């Protein structure tokens, strides 16, 4: 394992007052190093060889803990399968109907436009923290 990645995870855990365990460290690290929006099942399969005796319940507990500390986010899909996303810079999600994949979509101009729109059109009594779009569609088979 690359020491600097582990160090930065340890620093994040320390900052969030998360008690360090091998399971937490390895699962979070795998999520950082394996791009995508994985299900708990996929994370379990990735982590099992590194953590003998790991149970799916432990994986769920670690994922819940990461979500509670805002280091990961849940993404609910139409098929009701929960996927997990590592929290990075603001991004939106493209949901492609034909391959059931979720991709990150980054567009700073769009973020800016949304922010400006809601600054000009405030929702009474509501403070916006974050705007994330779910963009649903399908890829043209020829272009993807
Ligand atoms: Zn994402």
Q: How many domains does the chain have?
A: 2
User: What is the predicted pLDDT for the residue at 89?
Assistant: 76
Residue 110 lies in a domain: yes
pLDDT computed for residue 2 by the predictor: 65
47 occurs within a structural domain: yes
How much distance in Å is there from the Cα of 135 to the middle of ligand 1? 12
pLDDT at 135 over 90: yes
- Parallel, antiparallel, or unpaired for β 72-76 and 82-86? antiparallel
Contact criterion met (CB below 8 Å) for 95 and 134: yes
Give me the mean pLDDT over the 92-98 stretch.
87
pLDDT above 70: residue 1: no
Instruction: Examine residue 143 and state whether it is found in any structural domain, yes or no.
Output: no
pLDDT at 41: 95
Provide the mean pLDDT of the chain.
90
Q: Which residues surround ligand 1, an ion (CB under 5 A)?
A: 85, 104
pLDDT at 118 over 60: yes
Rama region for 92: left / alpha / beta (φ>0; ψ in -120 to 50; rest): beta
Q: What does the alpha-carbon distance between residue 90 and residue 72 come to, in Å, rounded to a whole number?
A: 12
**Domain of 101, in residue numbers:** 92-137
Distance 69 CA to ligand 1 centre (A): 17
Q: What is the pLDDT of residues 24-59, one digit of tens each?
A: 999 999 999 988 899 999 999 999 999 999 999 999
Reduced to 3 states, what is the DSSP secondary structure of residue 72? strand
Model pLDDT, residue 65: 96
Residue 17 lies in a domain: yes
Q: Is the pLDDT of residue 97 over 90?
A: no
Average pLDDT (53-74) is 95
- Report how far ligand 1's centroid is from the alpha carbon of 115 (Å): 19
**103 Cα to the center of ligand 1, angstroms:** 6
């Amino acid at each position: 394992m690359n020491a600097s990645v582990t160090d930065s995870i340890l620093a994040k855990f320390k900052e969030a007052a998360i008690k360090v365990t091998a399971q937490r460290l390895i699962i979070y690290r795998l999520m950082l190093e394996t791009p995508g929006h994985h299900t708990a099942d996929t994370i379990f399969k990735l982590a099992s060889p590194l953590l003998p005796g790991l149970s799916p319940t432990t994986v769920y507990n670690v994922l819940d803990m990461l979500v509670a500390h805002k280091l990961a986010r849940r993404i609910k899909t139409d098929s009701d399968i929960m996927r997990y996303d590592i929290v990075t810079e603001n991004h939106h999600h493209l949901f492609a109907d034909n391959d059931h994949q979720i991709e990150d979509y980054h567009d700073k101009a769009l973020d800016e436009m949304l922010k400006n729109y809601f600054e000009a059109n405030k929702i009474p009594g509501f403070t916006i923290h974050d705007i994330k779009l779910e963009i649903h569609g399908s890829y043209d088979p020829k272009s993807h």
